[in-house]
Structure formats: C-alpha cells, structure tokens
Amino acid sequence: MSGLNVQLGGQTVLHHVDFSIDSGEIVTIVGPNGSGKSTLLRAIIGAVEPGAGAVTCKPGLRIGYVPQKLHIDPTLPMTVRRFLDLPQRVHDEAARDALDEAGAGALSGRQMSGLSGGQFQRVLLARALLSKPELLILDEATQGLDQPGSAAFYQKIAEVRDHLGCAVLMVSHELHVVMAASDRVVCLNGHVCCQGEPEHVASAPEYRALFGTGTGGALALYRHEHHHSHDHDPDHAHEAAE
C-alpha cells in the first residue's frame, strides 16, 4: 500500500488534511462531534467528493468497510448468509471462514434483524473480511456495545490485522480502549490537530484543549490507574471511565 493522502479544501468540514496509513498499521481517528471523522472515512471510500486535494491509494486497493450503523428496514428479510453475498456471491466455505474469523461462526442462518448489537457488528466485520481487504475501515464500529463487548471487538480487530496483515483505520469515541489498541492516533478537528503514538497524542496540548481535562483524566486513569486520581474533576473522570 502506497498510503493515502487526503486533502479537502474550501469551506468543507475538512481543511487540508494530510495523512497516510501503511499496511499492518492500526490508526485511530479521534475528535469531537462534527470534527469530520466520518467524512474523512467517507472520502476514502469515495462516498464524498473532495473539494480540493485528492485521495490516492494503491491501484486496486481492496477496502473492507464497516459502517457506523446499518439500519436494516424491518420489511427487508435478510439472513446473515445472504447478507454476506452482497454485493458478490461467495462460496459457503469462504463465508464460514469469514464468520469464524469475526467470531460470528454460529450466526449463518439467523435473520439480521434478530441479532444483538455485538453479533451484528461481528457480522458486518465478517462481510468486510470477505474481500480479503488490504485496508479495513471501521466507523465507530463499537457504538452501542458495552465495554467488555467493545474491548472484545477491538481484540478481534487486532487479531484480524495480525492474520491478514491489513491496515486498519477506525474512528472511535471510546478513547481509553482505542488508545490501547492503536499503533497511531490521529486527533482530528476539521484538520489534523496532532498525531502520533497514543501516549504522545494523549499528552499533546492540542488534544487536551479539544477533549478537556475530563477525558484527559480518563486517559490518565487508564494509563496510570493505580496512582492517579482527579479529585478536582471527579464527575468527568467518572463518566469517561465508565
């Protein structure tokens, strides 16, 4: 993979965003609501046209995409197995392998609408894996999962990365979990505020300015749980640590 370079100009939500991702890397984009995180991902998959600048990626790059939320209308009957056949039919064996890899092995015959949140996300992941992606893109894939659920999900992502050697680009709100699971963190607020290794970003002043001391506290809690407390702001620290 030659990497991605994204530049969106004009009065759009993203201003002169430059960044790249290499194969085998797990990069997480964090940022407040409306900071353009999803827009950045949608630019990469081609769902939004950049006003200026360009997205360049390796020719024929295979992208696996796990959307933020997938609402399946209740009037649309859809088994998990049939869902995996979209848009291209796949062999039963490939489907079984992908489901196993995503930890959703037993769900093949179930209706999509009857799945729990965690099962649903695993099926979405399985579908994204079917194309043997070189770049796996996840947009807040753990929304609606409880903390053990999302921790298990990120564990799964890391396993998939190790197994396939693909790059992983994800957006998340769950800073404490994400920070631990990523190789690199990009802090976005219309532009790239700061980026680097999780520890580096967590201590960057731009990051603290964006997320305030509350989330900073949560990070500190995560990193230094045993000898750190934030008495000056207990509510925030508590809320973010949940």
Partner 1 sequence: MTLLDDFLVRATLAGLGLVLAAAPLGCFVVWRRMAYFGDATAHAAILGVALALAFDTSVFGGVLVVSLLMAFTVSSLSNRGYAMDTLLGVLAHSALAFGLVAVSFLQGVRVDLMAYLFGDILAVGVPDLAVIWGGATLVLVLLWWRWSALLTATLNPDLAFAAGIDPRREQLVLTLALALVVAVAIKVVGVLLIAAMLIVPAATARPFATTPERMALAAIAIGALAVIGGLQASLEWDTPTGPSIVCLAAILFTLSSIAQALFGRARP
Contact residues for partner 1, defined by CB under 8 A: 42, 45-47, 63-65, 67, 70-73, 75-79, 82-83, 85-89, 111, 114, 131, 137, 139
Q: Strand, helix or coil at 174?
A: coil
Smallest separation (angstroms) from partner 1 to the CB of 31: 19
- How far apart are CB 95 and partner 1 at their closest, in Å? 14
Token pair 């790239």 in the structure block, residue? 192
CA-to-CA distance for 60 and 95, rounded, in angstroms? 22
> Closest distance between partner 1 and the C-beta of residue 204, in Å?
30
Closest contact distance (angstroms) between CB of 74 and partner 1 is 9
Measured from the CB atom, the residue of 85 and 159 that comes closer to partner 1 is 85
Nearer to partner 1 among residue 38 and residue 195 (C-beta): 38
Contacts with 233 (C-beta within 8 Å, 6 or more apart), sequence order: 213, 214, 217
Instruction: Pick the closer one to partner 1 by CB: 30 or 84.
Output: 84
DSSP state of 224: T
Smallest separation, CB 140 to partner 1 (Å): 12
Residue burial 37-68, b: 16+ Cβ < 10 Å; e: rest: bbbbbbbbeeebebeebebebeeeeebbbbbe
Q: Which residues fall within 8 angstroms of residue 4, CB to CB, at 6 or more apart?
A: 19, 20, 21, 44, 55, 56, 57
Which residue's CB is nearer to partner 1, number 10 or number 114?
114
Q: Partners of 32 in the beta sheet?
A: none
CB of 87 to partner 1, least distance (A): 4
Distances (CA, A) of 204 to 100, 186, 193, 194, 241: 39, 11, 9, 7, 20
Asked if residue 120 lies in contact with residue 144, where contact means CB atoms within 8 angstroms, the answer is no
Question: Closer to partner 1 at the Cβ: 4 or 210?
Answer: 4
User: Which among 20, 22, 70, 64 has a CA at the least distance from the CA of 40?
Assistant: 20
Looking at beta carbons only, is 54 or 86 nearer to partner 1? 86
Q: Which is nearer to partner 1, 72 or 152 (CB)?
A: 72
Nearest-approach distance from CB 60 to partner 1, in angstroms: 11
